[in-house]
Every structure is written in C-alpha cells, then in structure tokens.
Structure 1
Amino acid sequence: MLAACSTSSGGAAGGDLLAQVRQNGVMRVALTQANPPWNFVDSKAQPIGYDVDVARELAERLGVREVQFIPSSYQNFIEGVRADRFDIVISGQTITEERARQVDFSRPYQVNGISLFVQRDDSGITGVRDLSGKAVAVSAGTTQEAYVRERIPDAEPKIYQNATLGLTDVARGNADAMLVSRFQGAYLASASNLPVKPAGELLNREVNGMSFRKDAGQFKAAVDQAITDMINDGTMSAISKKWLGGLDMAVELNQPTP
C-alpha cells in the first residue's frame, strides 16, 4: 500500500467508478493524515489508523489491488472529489445536507462525539455557555468550525490545520478551548502529554461517511454493502478496538441516530 502526494487522475469523471478502480487496480483515498487515531503517519511516514485500515479492507472487498493514500484537508475534500483528484474520501467527514448536495456519501462507517477541551487546571470553562469572548480552536473546514461561527458568535474562532496543533495551543494558553472529537482529544493529550481535559458533556453525536462523486454508478451500492458486511462479520469491531482504545464501532453504528 502506498502513501502518495501525487494527485494524478485515475480516470475521467463520469461512468461507473467501481469499474474504473477495478480496471486501474488502484483506489485513490484522500485523508488528512493528521488526525490520530483516525488517520496519521508512522515513523516511516506511512499512513496508519482506523480510516487507513478501513480503506484497505474496503478496497479488498471491492476487488481493488492497491490503495493510494493522498493527503488532503477538510477544506479541499469536496473540491478534490469533484475534480477527480481522488476517488473517495475516508477521513471522518460528517454527513451534512450542504455536503450531500455536492457529493455522495456512503452509509455511516463511523460515529463521533464532539467535546470541549480546556487546560487541565481551568475551572472557569465548563461548557459552551462559558465561551463568550474566548478564543476557541477548531480544525479548518470541520463542522466544529461551523459550530463556533454559527452557534457561539461571541467567541473568536482560531483555525488550525489539524487537532494536534489546536490542542497544543490550548495547552500553551494561546487558545482558551478547543472543539474536537472526545476520543481524538483524549488520545492526542495522552500521546503528546498535553495538560488538557474534556469539559462538560458531549455537544453532539456526529455521523460520518465516505464521500465520492455523484455520478459514481454502482460504486455507492458496492461501498455500502462492503461497510454493512464489515459491521456484521466483526471486521469493523476488530479495527475499531485496535485503534480506539477498545471502542466497538459496530455497536455505535447500530445505535439509532438521534
């Protein structure tokens, strides 16, 4: 499996994407490569994490020999799909109506809970109500960025390329708080020994899907079936328990969405 910065096209837009990736023998997968434990790079600069293992399993079930991982960002995922720079995004994109007008989404393959993180010794911020006039870190292009701008207009959003940078600035006192996945924030704080903690209850439960172009033909049905099979046969459980501290994503995915 290859980590690659190349964005060369694997086939013109239009037609059946499933047939194209099978013929090419390569599925081009976009992810941030900067959001552990979902997706990041190891000491050899190779992509690893929950999304990476899911992507490789998906490709095998679709009959595609190779995965080409392409680093990108939330701001560029939709544009990249529509411009055929990659075939699919597997990077924890929340399914929203606005995004679904521009690209297609798979059935959910991941759910996430968003939490507020503050410095470990901060007792003044216990929830969103305390963020008025505060500098709130968010990763660029995420639903958390939109949440701050739309729901906390008196706060100052501070935009970062990934959650590690944002949480580090919270730890240093350069931002008052950060909105981020509860699990990801806890993982990063532990891995980097950052003096931060979650504050208050989960703000929401986000349902994430894989995105790809709207004219993908049979690709969506095949991806949805592969995800369903991975949930039912225990593969999704095994992958999530490996990367998410024992969390069983299959159980989460089988819960009704509020």
Structure 2
Amino acid sequence: MISVKGGEFLMGDFGPLVGEKIPFSINSDDKKLHKVILDDFLMSKYKVTNEDFNIYIKVTNKEKLPLGLGEQFPNLLNNNVSVSVPWQMAKDYCLWLGKESGKKVDLPTEAQWEYAARARGKYMPYATNDGTIVRGKNLPTYDEIDVESDGLSLPVYPIGKYPPNPLGLYDMGLSGAEWTNDWYEADYYAHSPIKNPQGPETGKKKVKRGNIGGDMQYALTMFRQSARPIPVLEGSNYEEDGIAPGYVFRCVVNN
C-alpha cells in the first residue's frame, strides 16, 4: 500500500488550464471542473493479480473464475497479470481484505482514483513517471503488447514493468480499466459534494478508469468510463464465457 496524503484538487478535464488551453478529453461528462477535498488514504501499489485472486478463491472456497479468453490466450492468466473480474467480485475481494486485516478496505472512489493517478491532483494527463507517454520507456511498445497478450493486442501486461507515477503507484489507467466504487452518472460533477464524494446513490453502471485498447484517450487521468457491474456482451453467458480481459482493480484503505 502507498500512503496518499489527502488534500484539495480540481477534478475533471484540466486541459483549459494548462499548455495549449484546450481540453484533453473528448468526453463531455468530465468538463465540469469542481473542487474536491479528500481525507488521507492508502492505495494498492499494484493492481490485484491473478495470483492474488487465486489465493483469495482458495482461502474463501469461492468458485473459480471462468477462463474466458484465457483458454486461447494463456498469458492473460499468468500470476503477475492483473485479474479481470466483474465489479462485485472486485468489491468482495477488497472487503475480504478488510475483514482479515481489521482495516477499512474497499474499492477506491472515483475521486480517490483520479487524485492518486494525478499524484495528489497535479495536472498530469497520464499516470506515468512524468505525465507523458513514451512507448518503450514508461509504456509498452505495440510489439511488446502483442507478445504479452498472446497476440490479442490488448494493453494488459504484467504489473510493475514500467515506472510508477510520482506517488509510487504502478500502471494506473495504463493496463486495463480499473473499477471504482461509484455508480456512474453523466452529470454527477455538476452536483458532486466537495468533501469525500462517494458517487450517486444508485445507478445501472459503475465508473471505471483506464485503457483497455484503442485510443490513448482511455488512459487519460480524467477520462470517465462506465460499464455494467457484470460487463458481458449481449448474448454472452458470464458463467460459461467469463468477461473480456481488462476489467481490473486495486483496493484502498480508508481512515
């Protein structure tokens, strides 16, 4: 766990405040810059891996995950690769850690995630060592991604291979889309509370943050996404097919 000292920051697309003064994100749901104040918290240095989750399954006698694409692309199931799970499974894992440790462990809120990714709210477009992306130095090349994902060309790769952000957090937003605790609401920023926002009380989709392939927009530290808690394609059966790789997570410890 990495200690993240709380504080105040402007959450949302800060592009108009820096550089060329234009938005970074093509989204419309992140344009309402709003003040957020967070308490101190701890955040997982790495995403939860297949090895971590398999230990949890063994200890708690949970059912094993469907292999999904792991049958065809076995690198996705390597011990040091982030595990892909539905939202509730991610939540349950964090709560189990809390029960075992006596700490208040949970999924990060959307605000905690962005604040930490931006190294305590700095104007960092990407959660790399310096806020920029240089393939081969702080992000894998396309050829490396191909090898790591068995030719699937998804940016899901072993944890800790590239430099962390200035807080010491690895791969935030860069290797899969991370679940947060919050329900998604497109206009939430317009009425979000200032102190420790928790997201809407209800919803149909959960907020996720990070790149699962395609445009690097998805890796931006302010880029909002959402998915149903069990993100399956229409017509798919989760119990048989699992979910697509890239729905990953890390935990936080709250005061």
The two structures have a TM-score, normalised by structure 1, of 0.24
Of the two, which has the highest radius of gyration?
A: 1
Report which structure shows greater RCO (CA 8 Å, sep ≥6).
Answer: 2
The two structures have a TM-score, normalised by structure 2, of 0.24
Larger strand percent: 1
Larger helix percent: 1
